Amino acid sequence: MLLPFAALFIAYALGSEARLADNPQDKLLPAPSKIAETAGRLITTADRRSGEILFWKDTFASLQRLGLGVAIAAVTGLITGLAIGLFPYVRAAASGFVSVLSMVPPLAVLPILFIVFGLGEVSKLALVVIGITPFLIRDLSQRVLDIPSELFVKAQTLGASSTVIALRVALPLVMPRLIQSVRLSLGPAWLFLIASEAIAADGGLGYRIFLVRRYLAMDVILTYVIWITLLAFLFDFALRRLSQRLFPWAGEDSL
């Protein structure tokens, strides 16, 4: 597992060394030691104006937006996916709309979101929600359709209502898939968040990256990129462990 990371690091170190040998002032590929030095400074040094450590302030702002956006999308996707999968009349009315909606490039509607919701937090959350919710709905509704119909027939024979079938039969079987779908959506969610912060924000990881690019501060940019990657990996790891702990019966499909 570590071999590809080691190969990537060695390739970068060799490329950086070659460029710095030709031009010691080159900023495009800073040395790994320079990146480590910058990272240490960013996570410990407070800003002179605000007195805050901007690295942690940006991290908190981005995580708050990402967590809220993903949570709204997950709840919406779960409820709508169950409804489409369980009820034929809902499926007939909404499945085509969701399919078309999933084809809309989320970044293309970003200017519309800024016009409608302004440049505040709502537009950034809306982009994350719009970006990943259609995928969650389609994936979860298909999961519900894949549940053997015999389970629903048995529940109906025992007198279960539609609500009971949804909560006691379909929901437990769909929950492992929800966690897996959220894991698959984290990458696009980060992309939409960074894009919205890059255009209109006064804080956040995406905002900082696009702010320092004006100065070609590659050491800062790479520090933030590595940090975002680490955060994404930790989220994915936590969700995988959560699925294993809560739904061990789901097997390898939930990993």
Q: Please give the average per-residue pLDDT across 53-60, as a whole number.
A: 91
Tokens coding 170:
């379909």
Tokens coding 158:
């025992």
pLDDT at 225 over 90: yes
Query: What CA–CA distances, in Å, run from 213 to 17, 206, 235?
Result: 22, 11, 27
Q: Of 25-34, 72-81, 147-156, 211-220, which one has max mean pLDDT?
A: 72-81
pLDDT at 221 over 90: yes
pLDDT at 200 over 80: no
> For 122-148, how does the pLDDT look when each residue is reduced to its tens digit (9 = 90+)?
888 899 999 999 999 999 999 999 888
If phi > 0 it is left, if psi is from -120 to 50 it is alpha, else beta; for residue 120 that is: beta
C-beta separation of 190 from 66 below 8 A: yes
C-beta separation of 126 from 117 below 8 A: yes
Please state, in angstroms and rounded to a whole number, the distance separating the CA atoms of residues 32 and 10. Answer: 10
Task: Go through the chain and tell me how many residues it has.
Answer: 255
Model confidence at 80, pLDDT cuts 50, 70, 90, reads: very high
Please state, in angstroms and rounded to a whole number, the distance separating the CA atoms of residues 73 and 37. Answer: 38
Across the chain, mean pLDDT equals 88
Q: Please give the average per-residue pLDDT across 38-52, as a whole number.
A: 86
Q: Please give the average per-residue pLDDT across 60-64, as a whole number.
A: 93
pLDDT of residue 25: 80
pLDDT of residue 235: 92
Please state, in angstroms and rounded to a whole number, the distance separating the CA atoms of residues 224 and 207. Answer: 11
Model confidence at 255, pLDDT cuts 50, 70, 90, reads: very low
7 compared with 25, residue with greater pLDDT? 7
pLDDT of residue 252: 54
Model confidence at 149, pLDDT cuts 50, 70, 90, reads: confident
Residue type, 67: G
% pLDDT > 70, the chain? 98
**pTM for this prediction:** 0.86
Model confidence at 254, pLDDT cuts 50, 70, 90, reads: very low
> For 158-195, how does the pLDDT look when each residue is reduced to its tens digit (9 = 90+)?
888 888 888 888 898 899 999 999 999 999 999 999 98
pLDDT at 74 over 80: yes
